[in-house]
Structure 1
Amino acid sequence: MIKINLLPVRESQKKERLREQVVVLLACAIFTVSGCAAAYTTILAKISQKTDVISEQTKVIEQLKKQIGEVEKVKKLQAELQSKLDILGKLKANKTGPAHMLDELSMAIPEKLWIDSFDNIAGAVNLSGMGINEEIVAIFLQQLEASPYYMRVELQSLEQATIEGNKFQRFKVVAKEEVPPIKNVDNDKAAVKKSEPAQKT
């Protein structure tokens, strides 16, 4: 009886099956890695796109903030101007002083300073108001003193006040009404005639 050794064939078959399994595993691994890489790349692209969108939106927001800030500044200036006009109109309507004195008062009022009351009784001027700080009040006093219609401008009181969480300086000022000298036109003409040489007859 002839005996055939099948061990080498079996070993060869095992190796072939093992090789096939390794190839399948490698293929699966490559496919998995490729899929993960593709997904990762897609996610990175989406993140980059979202980042660009956020960056653009941030720039737009900053521009809008600047525009809003400019609008707020304009509104604030308009409100301050309107406040001064309202005060001047109210004082004129109440006839608390001559128009020229109120005009001079309006021109002497700096920004961020407001007048609450103004009285002129027999040339004695009393006014009160508030400013954002002492420097603004000092500027107002200097400008009022420079007016030809006000003299002996004195700060009567100055105290700090808090309104809606903001600090202001309340003040009271007294002054005297001054009437500027009016040029005498006739005297000026006479002086000019005297200075001219006499004409020969």
Structure 2
Amino acid sequence: MIPINLLPHRAARRKAQQQQFFVLAGLTLALAGAIVVAVHIFFAGRIENQVERNKYLESEIVQLDKQIDEIRKLKEQTQALLARKRVVESLQTNRTETVRLLDQLVRQLPDGIYLKSIKQTGQRVNVIGYATSNARVSTLMRNFEASPWLEAPSLIEIKAVTIENASLNEFNLNVNISRPQEENASRPKPAVPPAPKT
């Protein structure tokens, strides 16, 4: 017997299209959901990795901050030690210079000169004293100029005074302390090793 379709042709076609639409819509929704889940998983993994990296970087930054703080403290300690060293060296140099200054003043002092005061400010020395004549002051300044440890004497003032019925000339002059080059040159040089034999 031949099957006869009693349903209208258009209704059957519409029903088939609806079924096809629902299947495609379901597949599309499933695919979209899978894509959303995959994207979510991907970005969640990226975010988790970034969070871990941020934590690592933060811990490294904390360590670097500690190291920077330690370096700063070491620099401060180094500067303090260098300052102390400079002070000690300055004191030793000043002590030596004071001894040399007094020695040079005694050596360069001509007869007829009497010192009243000596004041050192840095490398400059102020000398106040009495002389029996102006020529004695000139001799003293020439002696200072010829000394390897003294230089650039400059007369500030000279005036006539009377002390215990004696006529004297009170003078005031400055002179600078110098370090002669011979001091460094006189230090023994290290021996040069002999050339290797060939």
**Structure with greater Cα Rg:** 2
